[in-house]
A and B are shown apart, each in its own frame.
Chain A
Amino acid sequence: MKPKQKSSDRASGQPPRYLTLLLNRLVAPHLREQVLGDLHERYARRLTVHGITNARRRYILEALSYIRPVFIERQKNEYQSTFNLGPAMIKNYFKIAFRNLVKNKGISAINICGLALGILCCLFIFLWVQDEKRVDSFHANGSDLFAVYETTTANGKVNGSYSASFLIAPGSSYPSFALENIHEAIPEIKYQAYYATGYELPWGHPETFQVGEKKIKLEGSRAGKDFFKIFSYKLIEGTAETALKDVGGVAISRRMAEMFFGDPAKAMGKTMRFESRMNFKVTAVFEDIPRHSSLKFDYLFNWEAQKTKLEFASNEIRSYLMLSDGADVAKVEGKINHYLAARLEKKEGVERRAGLIKFSDQYLHGTFSDGKPAGGRIEYVRIFSGVGIFILMIACINFMNLSTARSVKRAKEVGLRKVVGSSRTSLVLQFFGESLLFSFLAMLLSLAFLILLLSAFNNLTGKEIGFPATDTSFWIFLTALLLATGVAAGSYPALYLSSLKPVWILKGVARFTQSGLWFRQGLTVFQFALSIVLLIATIVISQQTRFVQQTHLGFDRENLVYVRVEGQLSAKNNYLLFKDRVSELPGVAMVDRSTEAPHDMGFSVADAIDWEGKEKNAAVYFSPASVGMDFVKLMNLKIVAGRDFSKSMATDSTDAFMVNEEAVRQMGMKNPIGKWISAWQKKGHIIGVLKDYHTQSLHEKIRPLVIDVKENEYFGVIVIRTKPGKTREALAGIGAVYKEINPDYPFSYQFLDQEFDKLYRSEQVIAKLSNLLAPLAILISSLGLLGLALFSAEQRIKEIGIRKVLGASIAGVVALLSRDFLKLVVIAICIASPVGWYVMNKWLEGFAYKIHIEWWVFALAAILVMSIAVFTVSFQSIKAALMNPVRSLRSE
């Protein structure tokens, strides 16, 4: 007890208050008066005789003497309350609930639909989140599987990546990798496997297989020999031990086996021709990769084959570990770094470290911050979980508002029930039961819609979620949702209505307290604030999406098609033949080549580029590309200084480089024309400077670019510009030429603008979802406002009548009724605008090139919400204002 309180008790001559309070709770009500009176009197008497200290001490003893069962036991009620859960009463509860439902068809429909919408949203989001979380969770050794990531610190800049090859001596003809035999050096590591695909994960680019006459392009990867021991991909034929052991072996999927051999069993030991260059023998057939795997492949080559026989696809080499049970991850991390330190080549100012992340976490944590996996899809999971809960909350709030609105009428029922002998408990149960019934109906409705809309939802999100009828977690979630919404939505009416005094209600003076009104107004403000934030998000996202699609990239992206350089096309002669033949086609404007698709140049390198006046240790990351003579013209790039590559200059194919403005800036060159520059072994001079153009998605800043002419590279893409409107016939022609020159490969091509749009796939999903959610939130909030307006009109019906009798105009009454609600919306706007601004600014930080959020976005959102609110409220208030006052005033 606080001494301050003690002294105040002492000063006033009162016994210790806490004991009094305690006894007041403890002692049965019918004894309280006597007991406390006795205690106080005795204390007062002792005070005069023994002094305060003694009196207080004795008081405590006295008080304790009352703590015994005789005083605590409550008096039994003389009157037995009626049994409220008998079958007749339950039948009555249902009947009344049903009558209420039917009596107010409009409101009931609004109520149930609102709740159903909320639940539907919640269910969809739940399914989506579940599906996201399920990715990579099917591996049997899940808790022991780890992905290695690399943290590179170079010149104070920290970068993180899952590409953790830890290549030793890059550039040598026989590459070796530092982590390869790490499981022999560190006992906690049971297995290690590298894994590499082509340029982009998860699939890479397709490669061609041939058996007999059958040629099919499929996508797959290369993996270390213990790959199948680490991961639980099921093998139909072959064993985990031998599947990837052999340099000349390939493990293929059931799908692939069926394509080529008709049956997995027949595939074993058969020979397949790869890219018309090499033969591989099938050493294993695995079950098709499950949908929830972040690694996707139709075939796997052995890691030795990758190192010795196959071309090096990219630097995107991942490394996976399986640790022994209960290994200390931090300790293993330390050991790995110790191991690496002894093997990696040391460079000044550059530090490379390895980190471990749970394999099942890497899919959701795709982006790095400060060199460690941080954000990624997990952010969307969090955002959508939040939005789901919020929308459900909004729907529940509505339910509360609407039920409270109607409760004015229900109050009489409550009064009567109480008079006839209903206890408070049974009333609370009745109302909770009713709201549970409502939410059950809403849930049925939302389940029906769920089944109906599931395929559309899958389309939207690019998932393949089926109705999870057999998934217990879904049903548990559903039941929890039902109980939560039922209880949350019914709590206010149940607890408030049942507390009303029957005398007041039946007399007609039951009024709703100010605090209750505040509470519901607060809820409405909250609802609207949320809707406005969502609306702002929708506007900003769609603006940014449009900005991304309409920004001039610095090159003309229309009518561009590209084809991979492979097979026969890898030879210079064949390429030139192809180029000449295609250029002559009527629908084709121009043909040229590049080592990377020009819209998505992911490759970057710092060491290999040198230039005149380069400072030691300068680390400028370039995007290097080798192109053909006509590339600049083909892409329609602008030249700001110097000249384009030209066939008429003999030296251009060996000596000429072009850079972009960003490169000039970062190299710190003045007058770059004529200065020397080198890329790997090739040294030459800068002949021209290109105006900056986007070589990657707008998430990334434009990087320094250096291009030279190399028509004899064996890889890359052939870029073809077709004439507007003639794309189809051009493609037919190109296909025919392709078949002739490169007969071992099926003809496949990509449209550059489509591929460019694919870089924003996740933004598009977000845009679509927010487009969907924002109107939904506004709709549900408006329903809530409607409820509040209904309630208020109901409450003020007499006031309106009197006002009209005294000569108020309809407009005046409408204004009177609407003002209060619009005030709420204004408050919501004030709260939501800064929140929306903050949230969207955070989102836009993911883009290097982005729009500015302008004031009119908020104005637009505000006006939109305001007008919807005005419409909703005036609908109700006009109805109230038009009512004949005689009808509202005739009673009483």
Chain B
Amino acid sequence: MRRSDLGEFEEIVLLAVAALSSNAYTITIAEELERETGNIVTSGAVHAATQRLEQKGYLRSVWGEATSERGGRRKRLYSVTALGGRVLEESRAVRNRFWDRILPAIRMEWN
């Protein structure tokens, strides 16, 4: 498995989709990211990321319902595929292993 094909923004989007479970679409993802990171996240950036993730097979999507505030247009709901889940798990495991190896004294220095 090539780890290098998951960018940082992609990874965080993938995580957000997983966290939002059944209500993950562009707007909620973008808002979630904004809240968590404090940065402005445009829906265009999120949409582009989800498109890439879908192509890589980490996400899948289905048409959701249409609402009046969308002008009668349907939304596209995303969910993480098994492959996407494994990639997330692996990435987390790598990080965890490194975290575990950091000496407490060094972490003290940061604070």
Interface pair B30/A41, CB less than 8 Å apart:
no
User: Roughly how many angstroms separate A42 CA and B43 CA in the complex, as a whole number?
Assistant: 8
Dominant SS among interface residues on chain A? helix
Most chain A CB within 10 A, of B31, B40, B73, B75, is at: B73
- CB<8 Å pairs between A and B, sample of 29: A33-B73, A34-B47, A34-B73, A34-B74, A34-B76, A35-B47, A36-B71, A37-B66, A37-B70, A38-B25, A38-B43, A38-B70, A39-B43, A40-B69, A40-B70, A40-B71, A40-B73, A41-B70, A42-B27, A42-B30, A45-B27, A45-B69, A62-B42, A62-B44, A64-B44, A65-B44, A66-B44, A68-B44, A71-B48
**A48-79, CB under 8 A of B: which get 1 and which 0?**
00000000000001101110101100000000
Taking A37-B70, A40-B69, A40-B70 as contacts, is the C-beta distance between A70 and B48 under 8 angstroms? yes
Cβ–Cβ < 8 Å partners of B71 in chain A: 36-37, 40
A214 → B minimal CB distance (Å): 99
Does A571 sit at the interface, judged by CB under 8 A?
Answer: no
Residues 1-36 of B, flagged 1 when their CB comes within 8 A of A and 0 if not, give 000000000000000000000000111001100000
B: residues with CB less than 8 A from A are: 25-27, 30-31, 40, 42-45, 47-48, 51, 66-67, 69-71, 73-76
Q: Which of A35, A36, A64 has the most CB of B within 10 A?
A: A35
* B44 CB contacts on chain A under 8 angstroms: 62, 64-66, 68, 71
Q: Which residue of B lies closest to A41 (CB)?
A: B70
The answer, yes or no, to whether A759 is at the interface (CB within 8 Å) is no
B66: shortest Cβ distance to chain A, in Å? Answer: 8
Shortest A213–chain B CB gap in Å is: 105
The yes or no answer to A505 lying at the interface (CB within 8 A) is no
Select the residue from B27, B40, B44, B45 with max chain A CB neighbours within 10 A. B44
Q: List, in ascending order, chain A residues with CB within 8 A of B76's CB.
A: 34
B27: contacting residue among A41, A65, A70, A71, CB under 8 A: A41
Give the distance in Å from the alpha carbon of A33 to the alpha carbon of B67 in the complex: 12
Interface centre among A34, A61, A64, A66 (most CB of B within 10 A): A34
A44 at the interface (CB under 8 A from B): yes
Chain B minimum-CB-distance residue to A35: B47
A62 and B73 within 8 A (CB): no
Complex CA distance for A70 and B46, rounded to whole angstroms: 12
- Count of chain A residues near B, Cβ 8 A: 20
- Which residues from chain A contact B51 at a C-beta distance below 8 Å? 70
Q: Could you tell me the distance between the alpha carbons of A319 and B67 in the complex, rounded to whole angstroms?
A: 87
A593 to B44, CA, bound (A): 103
A36 in contact with B42 (CB, 8 Å): no
Complex-state Cα separation, A232 to B47, whole angstroms: 77
By a CB distance below 8 angstroms, the chain B residues around A39 are: 43
Which of A36, A41, A42, A71 has most B Cβ within 10 Å? A41
Q: Which residues of A contact B31 (CB under 8 A)?
A: 45
Given A40-B69, A40-B73, A65-B42, verify A34-B26 contact (CB < 8 Å).
Answer: yes
Bound-complex Cα distance A674 to B65 (A): 116
Task: Please determine whether A33 and B74 come into contact, CB atoms closer than 8 angstroms.
Answer: yes
Kindly state the separation between the CA atoms of A772 and B83 in the bound complex, as whole angstroms. 85
A28 → chain B closest CB, angstroms: 11
When C-beta atoms are compared, the residue in chain A nearest to B46 turns out to be: A38
Chain B residues with CB under 8 A of A37: 66, 70-71, 73-75
Contact of B69 among A33, A44, A62 (CB under 8 A): A44
With both chains docked as a complex, state the minimum distance between the C-beta of A32 and any C-beta of chain B, in angstroms. 9
Shortest CB–CB separation between residue A38 and chain B, in angstroms? 5
Do residues B43 and A62 form an inter-chain contact, with CB atoms below 8 A? yes
Which of B43, B51, B76 has the most chain A CB within a 10 Å cutoff?
B43
Question: In the complex where A41-B67, A42-B27 touch, is A36 in contact with B73 (Cβ < 8 A)?
Answer: yes
- Compute how far the CA of A848 lies from the CA of B38 in the bound complex, rounded to whole angstroms: 93
CA distance A66 to B71 in the complex (A): 18
Q: Which residues from chain B contact A42 at a C-beta distance below 8 Å?
A: 27, 30, 43
Give the chain B neighbours of A64 by CB distance below 8 A.
Answer: 44
- CB contact under 8 A between A41 and B75, given known A62-B42, A65-B42: yes
B94 to chain A, nearest CB (A): 29
Contact of B42 among A34, A61, A71 (CB under 8 A): A61
A43 CB → nearest B CB, Å: 8
Q: Which residue of B lies closest to A15 (CB)?
A: B71
B50 to chain A minimum Cβ distance, whole angstroms, is: 10
B26 near A38 with CB under 8 A, answer yes
Give A66 to B43 CA distance when docked, in angstroms. 8
Q: Are B74 and A38 in contact (CB under 8 A)?
A: no
Proximity string of chain A (733-765) to chain B, C-beta cutoff 8 Å, 1 when within and 0 when not: 000000000000000000000000000000000
Decide if B48 touches A68 in the complex (CB within 8 Å): yes
Nearest 7 pairs between A and B by C-beta? A65-B44, A37-B73, A65-B42, A37-B70, A44-B69, A66-B44, A38-B26
Taken together as a complex, chains A and B put the C-alpha atoms of A39 and B73 apart, in Å, by 11
Neighbouring B residues of A34 by C-beta, 8 Å: 26, 47, 73-76
**Which of chain B's residues have a CB closer than 8 A to the CB of A45?**
27, 31, 69
In the complex, how many angstroms separate the beta carbon of B38 from the nearest chain A beta carbon?
16
Shortest distance between the CB of B51 and any CB in chain A (Å):
6
Contacts A34-B74, A38-B70 known; list 15 others, CB within 8 Å: A33-B73, A34-B76, A36-B71, A37-B70, A38-B47, A39-B43, A40-B73, A41-B27, A41-B75, A45-B27, A45-B31, A45-B69, A65-B42, A65-B45, A71-B47
